[in-house]
Amino acid sequence: MIHTAYIALGSNLGDRQANLLDAIARIGGLGGVKRVSSWYETEPVEMTDQPWFVNAALELSTNLEPIALLRGLLRVEQAMGRHREIPKGPRNIDLDLLLFDNEVINTPELTLPHPEMHNRGFVLAPLAEIAPDAVHPLLRKTASTLLETLIDPAEVRRVPPSVE
Protein backbone atom coordinates (compact mmCIF):
# COMPACT_ATOMS: atom_id res chain seq x y z
CA MET A 1 0.00 0.00 0.00
CA ILE A 2 1.28 3.47 -0.87
CA HIS A 3 1.07 6.10 1.88
CA THR A 4 1.47 9.88 1.84
CA ALA A 5 3.68 11.42 4.51
CA TYR A 6 4.67 15.02 5.19
CA ILE A 7 8.06 15.70 6.71
CA ALA A 8 9.49 18.91 8.14
CA LEU A 9 13.19 19.63 7.66
CA GLY A 10 15.36 22.15 9.47
CA SER A 11 19.02 23.07 9.79
CA ASN A 12 20.90 25.78 11.66
CA LEU A 13 24.51 24.60 11.54
CA GLY A 14 26.96 24.59 8.65
CA ASP A 15 25.68 25.13 5.13
CA ARG A 16 22.01 24.98 6.07
CA GLN A 17 20.62 24.76 2.55
CA ALA A 18 23.14 22.12 1.49
CA ASN A 19 22.15 20.11 4.58
CA LEU A 20 18.49 20.25 3.51
CA LEU A 21 19.36 19.18 -0.04
CA ASP A 22 21.43 16.28 1.30
CA ALA A 23 18.58 15.20 3.58
CA ILE A 24 16.04 15.39 0.76
CA ALA A 25 18.22 13.17 -1.43
CA ARG A 26 18.59 10.64 1.40
CA ILE A 27 14.86 10.68 2.21
CA GLY A 28 14.33 9.70 -1.42
CA GLY A 29 15.65 6.28 -0.40
CA LEU A 30 12.56 5.87 1.82
CA GLY A 31 10.07 6.50 -0.98
CA GLY A 32 9.31 8.98 -3.71
CA VAL A 33 9.75 12.67 -2.95
CA LYS A 34 6.71 14.27 -4.61
CA ARG A 35 6.94 17.93 -3.61
CA VAL A 36 9.42 20.11 -1.74
CA SER A 37 8.63 23.56 -0.39
CA SER A 38 10.68 26.72 -0.69
CA TRP A 39 13.24 27.48 2.01
CA TYR A 40 12.07 29.51 5.01
CA GLU A 41 14.38 31.26 7.46
CA THR A 42 13.16 31.41 11.04
CA GLU A 43 14.31 32.32 14.50
CA PRO A 44 14.90 29.42 16.88
CA VAL A 45 12.06 28.60 19.27
CA GLU A 46 12.55 27.81 22.97
CA MET A 47 16.40 27.71 23.02
CA THR A 48 16.86 31.09 21.34
CA ASP A 49 20.63 31.50 21.81
CA GLN A 50 21.58 29.69 18.61
CA PRO A 51 21.76 30.41 14.87
CA TRP A 52 18.60 30.92 12.78
CA PHE A 53 17.13 27.93 10.95
CA VAL A 54 16.39 27.26 7.33
CA ASN A 55 13.24 25.11 7.19
CA ALA A 56 11.34 23.27 4.49
CA ALA A 57 8.73 20.54 4.11
CA LEU A 58 8.32 17.69 1.70
CA GLU A 59 5.68 15.24 0.60
CA LEU A 60 6.79 11.62 0.45
CA SER A 61 5.01 8.72 -1.19
CA THR A 62 6.12 5.55 0.61
CA ASN A 63 5.22 1.92 1.16
CA LEU A 64 6.75 2.04 4.65
CA GLU A 65 4.53 2.00 7.73
CA PRO A 66 4.76 4.98 10.13
CA ILE A 67 7.25 3.50 12.64
CA ALA A 68 9.49 2.19 9.86
CA LEU A 69 9.45 5.62 8.21
CA LEU A 70 10.27 7.35 11.50
CA ARG A 71 13.20 4.99 12.06
CA GLY A 72 14.38 5.65 8.50
CA LEU A 73 14.29 9.42 9.15
CA LEU A 74 16.29 8.94 12.35
CA ARG A 75 18.86 6.90 10.38
CA VAL A 76 19.14 9.76 7.86
CA GLU A 77 19.80 12.20 10.72
CA GLN A 78 22.43 9.86 12.19
CA ALA A 79 24.13 9.31 8.83
CA MET A 80 24.35 13.09 8.45
CA GLY A 81 26.05 13.39 11.84
CA ARG A 82 23.12 14.48 14.01
CA HIS A 83 23.53 13.67 17.68
CA ARG A 84 20.46 14.16 19.86
CA GLU A 85 22.36 15.14 23.00
CA ILE A 86 20.87 18.61 23.54
CA PRO A 87 17.11 18.71 23.04
CA LYS A 88 16.15 21.75 20.94
CA GLY A 89 19.82 22.70 20.56
CA PRO A 90 21.70 23.60 17.38
CA ARG A 91 21.64 20.91 14.71
CA ASN A 92 22.81 20.37 11.18
CA ILE A 93 19.60 18.47 10.39
CA ASP A 94 16.25 17.94 12.04
CA LEU A 95 13.59 15.74 10.44
CA ASP A 96 10.08 15.52 11.87
CA LEU A 97 7.29 13.27 10.63
CA LEU A 98 4.28 15.60 10.62
CA LEU A 99 1.44 13.68 9.00
CA PHE A 100 1.05 10.14 7.69
CA ASP A 101 -2.14 9.60 5.69
CA ASN A 102 -4.87 10.45 8.21
CA GLU A 103 -3.36 8.36 10.98
CA VAL A 104 -3.51 9.23 14.65
CA ILE A 105 -0.83 7.44 16.68
CA ASN A 106 0.22 8.01 20.26
CA THR A 107 3.01 5.69 21.41
CA PRO A 108 6.27 6.33 23.29
CA GLU A 109 8.12 6.15 19.97
CA LEU A 110 5.81 8.13 17.69
CA THR A 111 3.01 10.68 17.98
CA LEU A 112 1.00 11.52 14.87
CA PRO A 113 0.07 14.06 13.89
CA HIS A 114 3.22 15.78 15.16
CA PRO A 115 2.12 17.18 18.55
CA GLU A 116 3.43 20.73 17.99
CA MET A 117 2.96 21.23 14.25
CA HIS A 118 -0.17 23.38 14.63
CA ASN A 119 1.77 25.80 16.89
CA ARG A 120 4.78 26.31 14.65
CA GLY A 121 4.86 28.76 11.78
CA PHE A 122 8.19 27.34 10.60
CA VAL A 123 6.40 24.02 10.04
CA LEU A 124 3.06 25.31 8.74
CA ALA A 125 4.41 27.86 6.22
CA PRO A 126 6.32 25.28 4.14
CA LEU A 127 3.62 22.62 4.64
CA ALA A 128 0.84 24.98 3.53
CA GLU A 129 2.90 25.87 0.44
CA ILE A 130 3.07 22.28 -0.82
CA ALA A 131 -0.13 20.87 0.73
CA PRO A 132 -2.54 23.67 1.66
CA ASP A 133 -5.42 21.19 1.89
CA ALA A 134 -3.61 18.61 4.06
CA VAL A 135 -5.91 18.07 7.04
CA HIS A 136 -4.76 17.77 10.64
CA PRO A 137 -6.68 14.61 11.61
CA LEU A 138 -7.40 15.74 15.19
CA LEU A 139 -8.10 19.44 14.67
CA ARG A 140 -9.83 18.82 11.32
CA LYS A 141 -8.33 21.97 9.86
CA THR A 142 -6.17 22.34 6.76
CA ALA A 143 -2.53 23.38 6.87
CA SER A 144 -3.41 26.72 5.25
CA THR A 145 -6.18 27.43 7.81
CA LEU A 146 -3.87 26.54 10.69
CA LEU A 147 -1.21 28.86 9.27
CA GLU A 148 -3.63 31.76 8.79
CA THR A 149 -4.80 31.56 12.39
CA LEU A 150 -1.32 31.12 13.85
CA ILE A 151 1.29 33.60 12.83
CA ASP A 152 2.24 37.03 11.74
CA PRO A 153 3.77 36.44 8.28
CA ALA A 154 6.88 38.40 9.33
CA GLU A 155 7.86 35.57 11.70
CA VAL A 156 8.65 33.22 8.82
CA ARG A 157 10.26 34.51 5.65
CA ARG A 158 10.91 32.72 2.40
CA VAL A 159 14.53 32.80 1.26
CA PRO A 160 15.92 32.03 -2.17
CA PRO A 161 17.99 28.87 -2.54
CA SER A 162 21.68 29.64 -2.48
CA VAL A 163 25.03 28.30 -1.40
CA GLU A 164 26.05 29.75 1.96
Indicate the pTM of the whole model: 0.92
Spans of all domains in the chain: 3-159
Please report, as a single letter, which amino acid is at residue 55: N
**Whole-number Å distance between alpha carbons of 21 and 70:** 19
Active-site annotation holds for 94 = yes
Active-site annotation holds for 133 = no
**Whole-number Å distance between alpha carbons of 126 and 158:** 9
Catalytic choice (96, 101, 120, 158): 96
CATH placement of domain 3-159:
3.30.70.560
pLDDT tens for residues 8-67?
Answer: 999 999 999 999 999 999 999 999 999 999 999 988 877 767 888 999 999 999 999 999
